[in-house]
Amino acid sequence: MAYDDSLSFLHFAPTRVVFGAGALSEAGLELDRLGVSRAVIVTDAVIAEKTDLVAKLKASLGARCAGVFAGAVPDSGLHIVDAGAAAARQAGADSLVSLGGGSAIDTAKGMAVVLTEGGSLIDHQGFQNLTRRQTPHVSIPTTHGTGSEVTRYAVIKDHEERHKLLFGDFHLIPDVAILDPALTVGMPPVIAAGTTLDALTHAIEGAHSLQRNPIADALAIHAVRLIRRWLPRAMSAPRDLAARGQLLLASTMAGTAFDNAQVGLVHAIAHSVGARHGVHHGLANAIALPHVIRFNAPDAADVYAELARAAGVTAATSDEEATEALAVDVAAVAKAAGLPSRYRDVGVPESDLEAIAELAITDGSIVYNPRMAMDPALVLEVLRAAW
């Protein structure tokens, strides 16, 4: 992971991070610190109806709670964001507290924009279009994977067009991330595994990105180390708060890493597979990851060798051997966590691979891939290996 004297970069990580078991109770004080007093909680129906987390959050917010919008769903759509913003406006909200996985946090990011800028979220699509601070947002992840609590991105599905819209802007980055390991213990094992593999993919793609930088590298390398060390423990002992906490930190570190460095071909494929076939984002990443590592090997073996060492894969002698060892290792990690390893096993028909490849080359992530991949024939080669 060498750099020469042409190195120049911008690294931006403005989110205040509050970590600890029980940190959920800090939410009200964080709103005070932001100077706001009427927050709408943004969450999903499962968290609202099947857990006591909203009640605990309400207790922390007290009179600062202006309402609850529990309409976020996996792959939240434009209409949900607009409906949430309308409800929050009706409630007189001056701030948002998101509680949930990436979809709840991304829904709140979209709502923050509509609350501040007006109109519909679709009016604000694109990158770095916003010119001012958006509605204050405290994010509280209940999964360890997306990193959305610290990133400038929101993925919102356009259900009519069957594709995912990516919003990216410094002004979308949440003001605060409350990382409370106790909130993650209830995750079903397949979600815990899938979201953690998403975080692992963020770390690896951040590290091999054409836009990598040494600060992001440090976060990415340590995230890989933590995930390799703690994921097996979290799977075998789901209520182990130490393991959960380390995975939550890894997810946030990987989030900051890729927020600055960007991701690559794995995400381009995962976004496309997710949009066309509804495959869980982390699972879609996990399946593609080892094959993309092999595809990128000619241009990123030195990076992969460094990551392999962080992952504890030490037997290899050359960068090329270490790269292959890393590809084998990440596949083994996903398998041990109970995830399927082939797209054919998650409902992707072989007949759709060409269409997925065509969609993937239009994904913004692909331009940061270390090996040029903007050719559907090349993406198809990776997809066939992963199918």
Chain residue whose CB lies nearest Fe ion: 198
Q: Which residues bind Fe ion (CB under 5 A)?
A: 198
Quick one: 26 or 259, whose CB is closer to Fe ion?
259
Query: Rounded to the nearest whole angstrom, what is the least distance from the CB of residue 145 to Fe ion in the complex?
Result: 8
Residue 198 CB, nearest distance to Fe ion (Å)?
Answer: 4
Residue 35 phi/psi, 5° resolution? 80, 30
Q: What Rg, from alpha-carbon coordinates, does the chain have?
A: 20
CB of 251 to Fe ion, least distance (A): 10
User: In a 10 Å sphere around its CB, with 0-12 CB exposed, 13-18 middle and 19+ buried, how is residue 211 labelled?
Assistant: middle
When the beta carbons of 27 and 382 are compared against Fe ion, the nearer one is: 382
Question: Identity (one letter) of the amino acid at 354?
Answer: E
Instruction: Please identify, using beta-carbon distances, which residue of 94 and 198 lies nearer to Fe ion.
Output: 198
Measure the CA–CA gap between 331 and 334, rounded to whole angstroms.
5
* Cβ contact 170:129 at 8 Å: no
Q: Which is nearer to Fe ion, 39 or 379 (CB)?
A: 379
Q: Considering the complex, state which of residue 39 and residue 250 has its C-beta at the smaller distance from Fe ion.
A: 250
Quick one: 121 or 266, whose CB is closer to Fe ion?
A: 266
Cα dihedral: 165, 167, 172, 173 (round 10): 90
Least separation in angstroms between CB 172 and Fe ion:
15
d(CA 99, CA 145): 14
- For residue 265, the surrounding DSSP H or E stretch is helix 265-277
By three-state DSSP, how is residue 103 classified? helix
Q: 269 or 308: whose CB is closer to Fe ion? A: 269
- Residues 60 and 70: their CA atoms lie apart, in Å, by 18
For the CB of residue 181, give the shortest distance to Fe ion in the complex, in Å.
Answer: 21
Q: Exposed/middle/buried for 175, CB within 10 Å: 0-12, 13-18, 19+?
A: buried
What's the chain's length in residues? 387
User: Least distance from C-beta 125 to Fe ion, angstroms?
Assistant: 19
Q: Residue 39 Cβ, how far from Fe ion at the closest point, in Å?
A: 27
